[in-house]
Copies of this chain bind each other. A is one copy, B any other.
């Protein structure tokens, strides 16, 4: 796609994909040490004794990797990918050694009622592991500018 995608260039049902990207044990531990310092995200032995049974990534790590896949493989929006929020769920953990793939689909395009220069696009971002199992579903609201009028 072009480098300046505006609201008018998007269509409901439009899809994109990116990945896979590897989730290493080292990356899981590094993320968790900084942002989610719970033993089952930082140590294999502690993970075995936990709810997870093996080293699992913080859900926020899965979300952050998904963002990387979106930014590097999604539509090249004119303002960039600026999220207003969304609904996230993690039906199963992502584990050390998993390879994650993103599939995105635009599900709604709504011009703003109060701000004529932009709209909100709802996009479903599905992150799966190498066994095609869902590790994250995110329905995100993204700010997208309308195409400026010609001068």
Contact = CB atoms under 8 A, between A and B. Distances in A.
Contacts of A63: 60, 63
Interface residues of A, number: 33
A38 B35 CA distance: 21
Interface in A49-80: 50-51, 58-60, 63-65, 67-68, 71-72, 79-80
Interface of A: 31, 34-40, 50-51, 58-60, 63-65, 67-68, 71-72, 79-90, 143
Q: Specify the main secondary structure of chain A where it touches its partner.
A: mixed
A85 B87 contact: yes
A64 B90 CA distance: 15
Given A85-B88, A85-B90, A80 B38 contact: yes
